[in-house]
Amino acid sequence: MANRILIISPDADDVEALRHALRNASDGPFDVEDAALLECGLRRIEQGGIDAILLDLHLADSHGLECYDQVYAAARHTPIMILCTLAEEHDAHEAVQRGAQGWLAKGYFDNNLVPQSLRNVIERMKVEQRLDAVQARAQITLNSIGDAVVSVDMHGLVDYLNVAAEKMTGWNRDDARGRPVAEVLVLADSDGAGPVINPVEAVLQAGRAESLSGEVVLVDRHGGRRPIEDSAAPIFDWNGQLVGAVMVFRDISDNVALTTQMKHLAQHDFLTNLPNRVLLSDRITQAIASARRNNTCPALLFLDLDKFKHINDSLGHAVGDRLLQAVAGRLLDCIRTSDTVSRHGGDEFVILLADERRAGDAALAAEKILLAMSTPFLIDGHQLHTSTSIGISVFPLDGLDAAELIKSADTAMYHAKERGRNAYQFFRPDMNARAIERQLIESSLRLALERAEFVLHYQPKLDLESGTVTGAEALLRWQHPEWGMVLPERFIHIAEECGLVIPLGRWVLREACEQAVRWRYSGVGQVSIAVNVSAMEFRHHDFFDHALAVFEATGVDPACLQLELTESVLMRDVVASAGLLAKFKAMGVQIAVDDFGTGYSSLSYLNQFPIDVLKIDQSFVRAIDGGLEGNGAIVSAVIGMGRSLRQRVIAEGIENAAQLAFLKQHGCSEGQGFFFSAAVDADRLRAML
């Protein structure tokens, strides 16, 4: 489409000459319009569609530059060529200063030159307009992105900042322009160690893209600091020459905060906010490294709250949780800042005393903690009493790494608990040996049942007056192929802990019943056999039914069977115990209370059970010749107590004649003990019978 030219000039000759030149342009005609009056010209401009204006500067009757300004205001984006006489040349220069694209001398219109220069200015204007649009778009884009952009010239002087960069640096564009980049972009190490190399400067030096290494913070004009992530790239001109660099960076405070928070969560316990196992392990490893350098002996305190489960079960988890938080607070009060209190899980805490000089220091810390825990906790209106058992391990004696030290402290803690809770206990190597033996026994016990390695021995019970055998207590023996005869004190508690006591107890009952039947048929008559029953067996849901089945299967007379139960087993659930015992009693089975006197049962409770025999614990019998004044009185009182309940009283563990005499004197009718016989195998007992 032909370019449309508006000529504003009252001079008809000039107009005609121009029209002629433009219509006959060698590379194609222009569309030409003209206006003699300025007003007409301005109106035509307003209508639009004009590609260039040829303006007569003098316009015959007006001030040329004023006319120019009006045309320029109306046609800001249309190129204007000034028509002027040589006398008006000065004004034409002025108009060019104000935005006109050039001027033509009146009367010298060259048929080729005029159309050529008009086409050039139109083209140039279009290119500039396109460039302006591109620039405007880039500017808007740069200012609306969240990333900050700073560019510098090849001397490292700032020449541009977008809005985000202004905000982050605290510099506005005009103030920053021309300043060295290091003055506007002040970068420092995140740990405050000092300045870091500005990547823009690095890019200018290297001529290739760079980015910050490590965690870097930007220090703004007012001293505010924020972590940033950046990249910088060189700017080349069309010639491939380096002319500057641009750096794009973003505030990563949120990311850093999130990362820090996630790291914290991964290393801390949610409930108490104490370090967790992961962080504790790390700290122990650090403490060990420093101990090797400084000759210290870091210690670990493994704590377990006594009876926490009871509080949790009875008052609810919310109270339990608050108690744990309060405990954590108290523990923190007991230690130095260089130490670490961690929650190991549940009601277990582990404390690392990092800088101990002597093992004794750990004992002092443990005592301090026991004391701190002795004050009751007030939680939700409940006054909660809790104590703690503490196991202590010390580097390097009890372990060379975190895992070993924790394990040793844990083992020691169990021993502290066994010793009666609310106590501390240093680890000893033999504790490990015990743990190993415990495991060995547990696995061997399972095999022993399958391989029938158990046997029953029988300790006779005698009438103390006549010396006749009144019955026997069946005592379990384990004939281990390598260890020889193993006594129950070495394995029975382990069997109880791992549940093996149930099949073991069933075997004992059946074997005892079969033995009673064998003796009966061997001619020694009815022998009363006492069988020990552990707590777990007694509580087992089919204990009674199983016993019944054994009685039927073996054909034993239940009346020759005696079940020995300790006071504590009976007292755990008085109603259930009484019910079960009544069922056995109804079948003729006898009931004996073992270790009588060592529990805390009240006589009124014991009265509720259908008890036939009270077995006075060995410790009382032993106390008879202990030499302490009053011991005899205690024994006679226990015998008296038994008699007042109108039961047969049997003394256990009689080892000498003095004990026998004392017991007889105080009305104890029966007894057993090494003085008469230890437990023997079935054949030897038969001989005694």
Ligand X SMILES: Nc1nc2c(ncn2[C@@H]2O[C@@H]3COP(=O)(O)O[C@H]4[C@@H](O)[C@H](n5cnc6c(=O)[nH]c(N)nc65)O[C@@H]4COP(=O)(O)O[C@H]3[C@H]2O)c(=O)[nH]1
Q: Nearer Cβ to ligand X, position 15 or 550? A: 550
Q: Is 679 in the site for ligand X (CB under 6 A)?
A: yes
Q: Nearer Cβ to ligand X, position 184 or 533? A: 533
Query: What beta strand segments (E) does 163-273 contain?
Result: 186-189, 216-219, 225-236, 242-251
CA distance 534 to 59: 127
Query: b/e per residue, 397-424, with b = 16+ CB within 10 A?
Result: bbbeebeebbbbbbbbbbbbbeeeebbb
Residues in a beta bridge with 471:
461
Is 341 in a helix, a strand, or coil? Answer: strand
Q: Is 655 in the site for ligand X (CB under 6 A)?
A: yes
Query: Measured from the CB of residue 474, what is the shortest distance to ligand X in angstroms?
Result: 6
Residues in a beta bridge with 196:
none
Side-chain half-sphere of 455: how many Cα atoms within 13 Å?
15
Length of the chain: 689
- What pairing do the DSSP bridges indicate for beta strands 242-251 and 299-305? unpaired
Is 304 in a helix, a strand, or coil? Answer: strand
Alpha helices (runs of H) in 499-596, residue ranges in sequence order: 501-519, 535-539, 543-554, 567-572, 574-586
Select from 38, 673, 682, 685 the one that contacts ligand X (CB under 6 A): 673
Q: Nearer Cβ to ligand X, position 369 or 649? A: 649
Q: Nearer Cβ to ligand X, position 251 or 652? A: 652
Q: Nearer Cβ to ligand X, position 291 or 580? A: 580
Count the neighbouring beta carbons within 10 Å of the beta carbon of residue 378: 10
Q: Nearer Cβ to ligand X, position 56 or 564? A: 564
Q: Is 275 in the site for ligand X (CB under 6 A)?
A: no
- What pairing do the DSSP bridges indicate for beta strands 469-480 and 454-463? antiparallel
Select from 471, 597, 653, 671 the one that contacts ligand X (CB under 6 A): 653
Footprint on residues 563-582 left by ligand X (CB under 6 A): 564
Instruction: List the x/- string, 615-634, binding to ligand X by CB under 6 A.
Output: ---x----------------
Query: Measured from the CB of residue 387, what is the shortest distance to ligand X in angstroms?
Result: 29
Residues that bind ligand X (rule: CB under 6 A) add up to a total of 23
Select from 6, 492, 527, 591 the one that contacts ligand X (CB under 6 A): 492
Assigned token pair, 643: 């008699």
Query: Measured from the CB of residue 659, what is the shortest distance to ligand X in angstroms?
Result: 9
Could you tell me the strand order of the sheet in which 242-251 lies?
158-161, 148-153, 242-251, 225-236, 216-219, 186-189
Choose the binding region for ligand X from 58-66, 319-327, 576-584, 673-681 (rule: CB under 6 A). Answer: 673-681
Closest CA to 592 of 647, 645, 535: 647
Q: Nearer Cβ to ligand X, position 543 or 609? A: 543
Query: Measured from the CB of residue 491, what is the shortest distance to ligand X in angstroms?
Result: 9
Query: Measured from the CB of residue 647, what is the shortest distance to ligand X in angstroms?
Result: 17
Is 330 in a helix, a strand, or coil? Answer: helix
Q: Is 659 in the site for ligand X (CB under 6 A)?
A: no
Instruction: Tally DSSP H helices, then E strands, for the chain.
Output: 27, 27
Select from 230, 567, 594, 670 the one that contacts ligand X (CB under 6 A): 594
CA distance 308 to 458: 42
Choose the binding region for ligand X from 104-112, 141-149, 513-521, 653-661 (rule: CB under 6 A). Answer: 653-661
Choose the binding region for ligand X from 11-19, 109-117, 346-354, 648-656 (rule: CB under 6 A). Answer: 648-656
Q: Nearer Cβ to ligand X, position 487 or 586? A: 487
Instruction: List the x/- string, 444-483, binding to ligand X by CB under 6 A.
Output: ---------------x---------------xx-------
Binding site for ligand X (CB under 6 A): 459, 475-476, 487-489, 492, 505, 508, 532-534, 564, 594, 618, 652-655, 672-674, 679
